A and B are shown apart, each in its own frame.
Chain A
Amino acid sequence: MTEHVAADVAIVGGGTAGCSTALHLRRRGATVVLLERELCGGQASGVNYGGVRQQGRDLAELPLARRSREMWGRLAEIVGNDCEFVASGHVKLARSDADMAELEAYREAVRPYGLELEMLGRNDLRTRYPFLGDAAVGGSLCADDGQANPRLVAPAFAHAARAAGADIREHASVTTIEHDGARFRLRTASGIEVTATTLLNVAGAWGHEIAARFGESVPEDVIAPNMCVTEPVPHFMVPNFGVCGGGFYVRQIPRGNVIFGGGRGIAARERVRASPLALSSLDSSRQTITLVPCLRHAQIIRTWTGIEGVMPDVIPVIGRSRTTPGLFHAFGFSGHGFQLGPAMGAVLSELILDGATPTPIAAFDIGRFASASS
């Protein structure tokens, strides 16, 4: 039995970007159907590290990240749940003089965007963070950055969107998408047929599949960042820590668990399944102890990963389709989309309803991939 649903906008993908857009569209009166294959926030949005970080981003992402950061501070007001966000600060550690020079240069580059970074020398590190080992020679602190509980964010946006009247369908896997020149027609395996004048592709690591159906082939690769969490230990670490060059990160939540990540798990994109890799867990555990030696006695209680789409230039695809009017894309967040999630809803709803957004997003145009603009 087919169920027919009509809406102004059909959204494919229940990550934070999709759920946030559903909420923003509803609050401006548009009708919305969101189709999620499993559960909202089940992949990269929900099982990431939980860093709410602006520091270290590609400059092109900073206006978006700044806008999102402002929203993170108001989540309780926006979705009725603060999602355990705390502005705990984020320190990027340097392990060499070359690293320090890189951090200095970055600090100068981000000033025009209003992002303030404080340089920390070796002595500053020892005084403020006496738990750090000798590997770090300095760092830069972004006091405005922080952390949140990723398990709550997409579901909280989905819940708020539903309360605002959005039609959020979980366990609704899209099997066909057609465009007749005026309308999109989508069918799900569960027997829902959706017609909409606008289609938003926020399908994460599977976003390229939808783009390809409309003649926009883009090289979206896949990663499964490997993460671990320890049992709770007394709270001693306030900011999140990362390292120059990336690839490794650690934070402690107020209740005591230490979360760290590095290396890759196994991503089976076609099966929508990911699993952590023991050797990655052991490697990142070793790196964590090098930077924070007192953790050597802590016990790892769980490891996990999720599937994330990555573009060759490590920035997402965001914006309107080059081939199909009414189609919009936002996918391939390349391992750092969590912080951007809330603002994506604001930006995409503006793009869809107003035809433009005040937040610069030209760098993310799908046309930057040659095969997509043909």
Chain B
Amino acid sequence: MNDRPPIVIGAGPAGSRAAATLVAAGYSPIVLDEAPASGGQIYRRAPSGFTRSYRALYGFDAAKARRLHAAFDGIKGSIDYRPGTLVWDLKHGALHCLSNGRSQEISYRDVILAPGARDRIIPFPGWTLPGIYTLGGAQIALKYQGCAIGTRIVFMGTGPLLYLVAYQYAKAGGAIAAVLDTTPFAAKRRAVPGLLRGGSTFAKGLWYVAALRARGIIVANGIRPVAAEEKDAAVSVLAYRSAAGVERRLACDAIAFGFGLSSETQLADLAEIPFTFDPIQQQFLPEHDISGRTPVRGVYLAGDGSGIAGADAAELAGERAALALLEDHGHEVGKPRVAALERALRQIAEFRVTLEAAFPFPVDIAEEMPDDTILCRCEAVTAGEFRSSAHALEADEINRAKAFSRCGMGRCQGRVCGPAAAAVLAAALNLPPERVGRLRGQPPVKPIPMAVVTVHP
């Protein structure tokens, strides 16, 4: 294995822990990460020269962030660490990565994919107006640069991130117009017994909601977005329908929204790992077992890129995948440690089922999307154009519908609009979501400049 060192893609919780595990076994992995510093999205580090404390940056998770960062900094001398590096293609034992305008081919025998996740969004009328961010984007502005996205902000959507980001803004002194949750209160109440088993995760959630209410911030459940309205080329109002069906209008200068997370699965797709539909997470996921092994020899998965389970699970899965890689190369690995990791991962997976039930993906927003709503912002395709092009030439799956309409063919290659587009199509054709399939990944994973210089190793 030393002639071709193992490769870890991503330096978030999963990738950091995988790399540390390989180093502990005597290997010097290559770690490729898009970010300028390790930590991933959740433990993203502030730029150098910023002086905010771990407590200010990561709140309840300060100790975990500190530990993960320290562990990674501790192995930097033992790994080939390449920050600011995009892996844009990967197949059949060779990957291509881009860094500072230079593209390099690296051949690999073993690779651990830990690319993480992104916000899952559902377009609503006006969502492309300036001033509208994803929840994750709003959080990064605050965490990375210490900037707020506005001075009167609406947080809208569902999932744990909704309350966490709103709380972080409130704590930083941001002015919050309201926190609007698409989940009905009843769904959350039903989930309480299961959520209690999640221990601190649930306690933190309650704490955030209580802290927001204590600040006098409106927290509403069971709402549906109607439209974002514009004044002077920026968002000025969010119109929404309350749980009681009353239309309300909230003045604001920024909106942060999101409906849970989607796994970043393009690299797994390019590696030719088969996908199956996960009915709990409502997304297609690359096949893997609890050890992170996939049907493709030498390719391992860890973290939210293989299915959303959160940062704690990502760390465990990163270690487990690295141990699997070591086992596959004939190393003795501690059986009790493997058993403990798998037990903990199973527990988190069970809790995840409850969490998804407490914050269901509000698929009806996609299904009932008005025809004039921009569905694909890269290619400016409306929901109506998408529906009618799918009907006109009889597209019965998402790649066909994409080919006919250009929805999902732009800069983001459907990473942003894909999940909602699949829901729109499924509803238009009256098919279950798994029948319309998933957008196939095509390189590059993210745009690359034409003037890229090819570096030969």
- Mark interface residues in A26-52 (1 if CB within 8 Å of B CB, else 0): 000000000000010000001000000
**In the complex, B217 has a CB within 8 A of chain A:** no
User: Are A300 and B404 in touch, CB under 8 angstroms?
Assistant: no
User: Are A281 and B443 in touch, CB under 8 angstroms?
Assistant: yes
**In the complex, B394 has a CB within 8 A of chain A:** yes
B273 to chain A, nearest CB (A): 14
CB within 8 Å of A: which of B74-93? Answer: 88-89, 91-92
User: Are B394 and A285 in touch, CB under 8 angstroms?
Assistant: no
User: Are A159 and B450 in touch, CB under 8 angstroms?
Assistant: no
Question: Which residues from chain A contact B91 at a C-beta distance below 8 Å?
Answer: 275
**In the complex, B103 has a CB within 8 A of chain A:** yes
User: Are A301 and B449 in touch, CB under 8 angstroms?
Assistant: no
Could you tell me the distance between the alpha carbons of A218 and B270 in the complex, rounded to whole angstroms? 33
- Mark interface residues in A141-155 (1 if CB within 8 Å of B CB, else 0): 000000000011001
**In the complex, A299 has a CB within 8 A of chain B:** yes
User: Are A302 and B403 in touch, CB under 8 angstroms?
Assistant: no
Question: Which residues from chain B contact A279 at a C-beta distance below 8 Å?
Answer: 105, 454
* Given contacts A151-B404, A155-B404, A297 and B443 within 8 Å (CB-CB): no
Question: Which residues from chain B contact A296 at a C-beta distance below 8 Å?
Answer: 449-451
Of all chain B residues, the one with the shortest Cβ separation from A293 is: B451
**In the complex, A231 has a CB within 8 A of chain B:** yes
A165 to chain B, nearest CB (A): 16
Which residue of B103, B447, B452 contacts A231 across the interface (Cβ within 8 Å)? B447
User: Are B443 and A278 in touch, CB under 8 angstroms?
Assistant: yes
Which residue of A39, A266, A299 contacts B411 across the interface (Cβ within 8 Å)? A299
**In the complex, B306 has a CB within 8 A of chain A:** no
**In the complex, B126 has a CB within 8 A of chain A:** no
* Given contacts A152-B404, A275-B91, A279-B105, A297 and B444 within 8 Å (CB-CB): no
**In the complex, B182 has a CB within 8 A of chain A:** no
Of all chain A residues, the one with the shortest Cβ separation from B412 is: A301
User: Are A278 and B89 in touch, CB under 8 angstroms?
Assistant: yes
**In the complex, B188 has a CB within 8 A of chain A:** no
B269 to chain A, nearest CB (A): 11
* Given contacts A278-B96, A296-B450, A156 and B393 within 8 Å (CB-CB): yes
Q: How many A-B residue pairs have CB under 8 A?
A: 81
User: Are B450 and A298 in touch, CB under 8 angstroms?
Assistant: yes
Which residue of B94, B404, B411, B451 contacts A297 across the interface (Cβ within 8 Å)? B451
CB within 8 Å of B: which of A149-171? Answer: 151-152, 155-156, 159, 162
* Given contacts A155-B393, A155-B404, A231-B410, A297 and B447 within 8 Å (CB-CB): no
A47 to chain B, nearest CB (A): 9
CB within 8 Å of B: which of A285-324? Answer: 285-286, 288-289, 295-304
Question: Which residues from chain B contact A152 at a C-beta distance below 8 Å?
Answer: 393, 403-404
Of all chain A residues, the one with the shortest Cβ separation from B451 is: A296
CB within 8 Å of B: which of A197-232? Answer: 230-232
**In the complex, A276 has a CB within 8 A of chain B:** yes
User: Are B443 and A303 in touch, CB under 8 angstroms?
Assistant: yes
Question: Which residues from chain A contact B447 at a C-beta distance below 8 Å?
Answer: 231, 299-301
Which residue of A39, A286, A298 contacts B400 across the interface (Cβ within 8 Å)? A39
Question: Which residues from chain A contact B404 at a C-beta distance below 8 Å?
Answer: 151-152, 155
Could you tell me the distance between the alpha carbons of A303 and B394 in the complex, rounded to whole angstroms? 25
Question: Which residues from chain B contact A281 at a C-beta distance below 8 Å?
Answer: 443
Question: Which residues from chain B contact A302 at a C-beta distance below 8 Å?
Answer: 409, 413, 442-444
Could you tell me the distance between the alpha carbons of A297 and B449 in the complex, rounded to whole angstroms? 6
* Given contacts A152-B393, A279-B105, A301 and B450 within 8 Å (CB-CB): no
Q: How many residues of B contact A (CB 8 A)?
A: 29
User: Are B452 and A285 in touch, CB under 8 angstroms?
Assistant: yes
**In the complex, A101 has a CB within 8 A of chain B:** no
A181 to chain B, nearest CB (A): 37
**In the complex, B448 has a CB within 8 A of chain A:** yes
* Given contacts A39-B400, A278-B105, A303 and B393 within 8 Å (CB-CB): no
Which residue of A232, A276, A289, A295 contacts B443 across the interface (Cβ within 8 Å)? A276
A224 to chain B, nearest CB (A): 13
* Given contacts A152-B393, A279-B105, A301-B444, A289 and B451 within 8 Å (CB-CB): yes
Question: Which residues from chain B contact A159 at a C-beta distance below 8 Å?
Answer: 392-394
Which residue of A156, A276, A278, A299 contacts B450 across the interface (Cβ within 8 Å)? A299
User: Are B452 and A282 in touch, CB under 8 angstroms?
Assistant: yes
Question: Which residues from chain B contact A300 at a C-beta distance below 8 Å?
Answer: 444, 447-450
CB within 8 Å of A: which of B379-403? Answer: 392-394, 400, 403
Could you tell me the distance between the alpha carbons of A366 and B451 in the complex, rounded to whole angstroms? 45
Question: Which residues from chain A contact B452 at a C-beta distance below 8 Å?
Answer: 282, 285
User: Are A301 and B451 in touch, CB under 8 angstroms?
Assistant: no
User: Are A282 and B413 in touch, CB under 8 angstroms?
Assistant: no
Question: Which residues from chain A contact B450 at a C-beta distance below 8 Å?
Answer: 230, 285, 288-289, 295-300
User: Are B393 and A301 in touch, CB under 8 angstroms?
Assistant: no
Question: Which residues from chain A contact B409 at a C-beta distance below 8 Å?
Answer: 302
User: Are A282 and B103 in touch, CB under 8 angstroms?
Assistant: yes
Which residue of A232, A275, A288, A299 contacts B448 across the interface (Cβ within 8 Å)? A299
Could you tell me the distance between the alpha carbons of A230 and B413 in the complex, rounded to whole angstroms? 12
User: Are A301 and B411 in touch, CB under 8 angstroms?
Assistant: yes
Which residue of A39, A151, A286, A301 contacts B413 across the interface (Cβ within 8 Å)? A301
B146 to chain A, nearest CB (A): 29
Question: Which residues from chain B contact A288 at a C-beta distance below 8 Å?
Answer: 450
Question: Which residues from chain A contact B444 at a C-beta distance below 8 Å?
Answer: 300-303
Of all chain B residues, the one with the shortest Cβ separation from A302 is: B442
A226 to chain B, nearest CB (A): 11
Could you tell me the distance between the alpha carbons of A247 and B17 in the complex, rounded to whole angstroms? 46
Could you tell me the distance between the alpha carbons of A297 and B448 in the complex, rounded to whole angstroms? 10
Question: Which residues from chain A contact B400 at a C-beta distance below 8 Å?
Answer: 39, 155
Question: Which residues from chain B contact A276 at a C-beta distance below 8 Å?
Answer: 442-443
Could you tell me the distance between the alpha carbons of A8 and B451 in the complex, rounded to whole angstroms? 55
Question: Which residues from chain A contact B392 at a C-beta distance below 8 Å?
Answer: 81, 159
Could you tell me the distance between the alpha carbons of A229 and B92 in the complex, rounded to whole angstroms? 23
Could you tell me the distance between the alpha carbons of A134 and B190 in the complex, rounded to whole angstroms? 70
A76 to chain B, nearest CB (A): 13
User: Are A151 and B403 in touch, CB under 8 angstroms?
Assistant: yes
A64 to chain B, nearest CB (A): 26
Of all chain B residues, the one with the shortest Cβ separation from A298 is: B450
- Mark interface residues in A229-256 (1 if CB within 8 Å of B CB, else 0): 0111000000000000000000000000
Question: Which residues from chain A contact B105 at a C-beta distance below 8 Å?
Answer: 278-279
Which residue of A46, A162, A232, A266 contacts B403 across the interface (Cβ within 8 Å)? A46
Question: Which residues from chain B contact A230 at a C-beta distance below 8 Å?
Answer: 450
Question: Which residues from chain A contact B443 at a C-beta distance below 8 Å?
Answer: 276, 278, 281, 302-303
- Mark interface residues in B100-122 (1 if CB within 8 Å of A CB, else 0): 00010100000000000000000
- Mark interface residues in B34-46 (1 if CB within 8 Å of A CB, else 0): 0000000000000
Could you tell me the distance between the alpha carbons of A230 and B392 in the complex, rounded to whole angstroms? 27
Question: Which residues from chain B contact A289 at a C-beta distance below 8 Å?
Answer: 450-451
Question: Which residues from chain A contact B89 at a C-beta distance below 8 Å?
Answer: 278
Could you tell me the distance between the alpha carbons of A231 and B448 in the complex, rounded to whole angstroms? 10
The contact sample of 7 A-B pairs, CB cut-off 8 A, is A152-B403, A231-B447, A278-B103, A285-B451, A285-B452, A297-B450, A299-B450
4 nearest CB pairs, A to B = A299-B447, A151-B403, A296-B451, A278-B96
| 15 extra A-B contacts, CB within 8 A, seeds A266-B92, A300-B447, A304-B442 | A46-B403, A155-B400, A231-B447, A278-B88, A279-B454, A289-B450, A296-B450, A296-B451, A297-B449, A298-B450, A299-B411, A301-B413, A301-B447, A302-B409, A303-B443
Q: Which residues of B contact A (CB under 8 A)?
A: 88-89, 91-92, 94, 96, 103, 105, 270, 392-394, 400, 403-404, 409-411, 413, 442-444, 447-452, 454
